[in-house]
Structure 1
Amino acid sequence: MNTEVVNFIKEHKGDLLENWMAAMKISSHERSLNLISDDVFKDISHEFIEVAVSNIIDSENGFNQKVERFTERVVRIGWELVFLMDGLSTLKTLVLELMQKEKDYSSEEVIELITEIDRWVAPMTNQIIESYSNNWEKTVSLQKVALQELSAPLIPVFEKISVMPLVGTIDTDRARLIMENLLSGVVKHRSEVVLIDITGVPVVDTMVAHHIIQAADAVRLVGSRCMLVGIRPEIAQTIVNLGINLNQITTTSTLQKGIEKAMEFTNRKIVVLKEGKD
């Protein structure tokens, strides 16, 4: 790189930081900035400038490590890649503007400066995109594993009675997990009645209903009864409009009613004890 550009960047880190923060605060990326406090923004901005400077003073390995740590952090707080790309573009503009304020360059020299600044930023752009993508995929993968671990547990609530609360959208992969947990849980807890609670499922379409029917059939094959509870009025209307047949499954509008029904299936009932008179 041009020695003049290198020296300028190293000597004006503080000015670049202050100007970059000011420029990014008036950008159109309010969402990214609203995710963090001003102190955190200042801290991450400082790290961003340090990464930029390390591209000209550190070894390739040292620079890559700093980029990796930086992108891991910004992915964790939810900054979008487009925000970082705009940040790099802003940094290029600032370096050129600050250099031109200090010295009167000819047109040819300005073109040379732009070329040198582009040469400085290009490796950062490529490395940040690659590192950000890797960290994003890693984060999504970890979140998916965590969701699967928490998703669709079979909870024994009474002897021979278990409940599986479902929350969120049900896709094919999650339906498979539900089926596995349901069958293994029925055997493990020796459940005679299983209540699938769909109170937290926002949409029940043909595919979701198909998966629930499959689950109920599988439960019957291992000698247990399956109930569907938490059917809201809008869900009931959707099921009717789609012509979905749930005749083989006992349904109730609430979990409480479902448990009462499950107690009857296991030859028990809930008795309200009256307080004795003094």
Structure 2
Amino acid sequence: MNSKFEGIVLENSEKIVEMWLEEIGTLRKENRTESISIDLYESTNREFVDVIFTSIKSHGSTNAVEEFSEKIINLGWPLSYITDGLQVFRRVTIDFILRQSERVDTEYISNVLSSVDEWVEPIIRILVNDYSGNWEHIVSLQRVALQELSAPLIPVIDGITIMPLVGTVDTDRAKLIMESLLQGVITHNSEVVLIDITGVPVVDTMVAHHLIQAAEAVRLIGAKCILVGIRPEIAQTIVNLGINLTDFPTKSTLKKGFLTALEITNRKVVNVKSSENDIEKLIESIQGE
């Protein structure tokens, strides 16, 4: 920063701070900080402006800026607070410097603008980059978490597993479904897999193609797929699109699909009460003989 302008700013730092605090306080609604308590808001403003002045006193050192950035990111402050604060600070500082001189020609104004920008721009860059890096990290973690939850395979009883799908099935997710399905069939020694699409909002040609591929892959390793959760609108879409699911057993509900899976594995649901009555009748007949 130009040494002359730096001197003006440092000598009048309190006045500039007061002007900045007054103006930034009117932007709480715009930068989404209304929910933050007044005490915390005011103390953070003071810390923010101190960091800005520290950067000019330390002649380019960014340590204080980086520490402040980490703090407000961890506290969840919006990026708009930072950008608004620095833009206001730039404007207030430029206006103050210009009012201190009788010279207001184009060259002088240009020198003031470039000098203040030389001071403020690096701070903006650091803070925005830190925010961006933090968001990218969070998004990356969320993506991994969603992938882990996007294709769960749940063993219910020996030989029968269920894969509930929720949300849109795109190409990347279809690949994950295929991998999870094949690995799960082998791990759980499954004979039948129920793919539940109750939570899939749209089944188009691409989604159906992915599901058919998954069912065929499961068949090749010795198991069988049943598609459950076929809602009326989904059934109508499949028919209108001419999608052939002849080799892919379908059921309207998970319950019906599970009963079919029991039949395939040579099991059935037995009414325990009826069974007890049958046993009692058998005992009575034996005793009667």
The 8 Å contact of residues 191 and 222 in structure 2, kept in 1 or not, is answered as: yes
Are residue 92 (structure 1) and residue 96 (structure 2) matched?
no
| Pairing partner for 1:24 from 4, 7, 27 | 27
Are residue 198 (structure 1) and residue 197 (structure 2) matched?
yes
Shift of 1:94: 3.6
The 8 Å contact of residues 23 and 88 in structure 2, kept in 1 or not, is answered as: no
Question: Do the aligned partners of residues 3 and 237 (structure 1) sit closer, same or farther apart at CA in structure 2, a change above 3 Å counting?
Answer: farther
Question: Do the aligned partners of residues 114 and 234 (structure 1) sit closer, same or farther apart at CA in structure 2, a change above 3 Å counting?
Answer: same
2:269 and 2:42 map into 1 onto residues whose CA distance is 60
When the two structures are superposed, what TM-score results if normalisation uses the length of structure 1?
Answer: 0.80
Shift of 1:23: 3.0
The answer for the alignment partner of 1:231 in structure 2 is 230
| Pairing partner for 2:102 from 102, 106, 121 | 106
1:161 and 1:260 map into 2 onto residues whose CA distance is 11
The answer for the alignment partner of 1:124 in structure 2 is 123
Question: Do the aligned partners of residues 162 and 122 (structure 1) sit closer, same or farther apart at CA in structure 2, a change above 3 Å counting?
Answer: same
Shift of 1:51: 4.2
CA RMSD of aligned residues (A): 3.3
SS at match of 2:104: helix
Considering only CA atoms, is the larger Rg found in Structure 1 or Structure 2?
2
- Letter of the 2:10 partner, please give it: V
When the two structures are superposed, what TM-score results if normalisation uses the length of structure 2?
Answer: 0.77
Question: Do the aligned partners of residues 233 and 42 (structure 1) sit closer, same or farther apart at CA in structure 2, a change above 3 Å counting?
Answer: farther
Shift of 1:15: 5.8
The answer for the alignment partner of 1:52 in structure 2 is 52
SS at match of 2:272: coil
The 8 Å contact of residues 33 and 81 in structure 2, kept in 1 or not, is answered as: no
SS at match of 2:215: helix
2:27 and 2:64 map into 1 onto residues whose CA distance is 23
Shift of 1:67: 5.9
Of 41-50 and 232-241, more deviation after overlay is shown by 41-50
- Structure 1, unpaired ranges of 5+: none
The 8 Å contact of residues 226 and 249 in structure 1, kept in 2 or not, is answered as: yes
The alignment-based identity, stated in percent, is: 46
The answer for the alignment partner of 1:171 in structure 2 is 170
SS at match of 1:138: helix
The 8 Å contact of residues 166 and 201 in structure 1, kept in 2 or not, is answered as: yes
| Pairing partner for 2:8 from 4, 8, 11 | 4
Question: Do the aligned partners of residues 54 and 206 (structure 1) sit closer, same or farther apart at CA in structure 2, a change above 3 Å counting?
Answer: farther
The answer for the alignment partner of 2:253 in structure 1 is 254
SS at match of 2:183: helix
The answer for the alignment partner of 2:70 in structure 1 is 69
Deviations 1:206-261 (A, max 9, x none): 21111111100000001101011112222222222222111111111221221122
Shift of 1:18: 5.2
1:194 and 1:238 map into 2 onto residues whose CA distance is 23
Deviations 1:31-64 (A, max 9, x none): x447x54467667655644543343244624145
- Structure 2, unpaired ranges of 5+: 278-289
2:239 and 2:47 map into 1 onto residues whose CA distance is 57
Question: Do the aligned partners of residues 118 and 224 (structure 1) sit closer, same or farther apart at CA in structure 2, a change above 3 Å counting?
Answer: same
2:83 and 2:137 map into 1 onto residues whose CA distance is 20
2:44 and 2:213 map into 1 onto residues whose CA distance is 50
How many matched pairs?
A: 267
SS at match of 1:60: coil
Shift of 1:179: 0.8
Question: Do the aligned partners of residues 260 and 131 (structure 1) sit closer, same or farther apart at CA in structure 2, a change above 3 Å counting?
Answer: same
- Letter of the 1:184 partner, please give it: Q
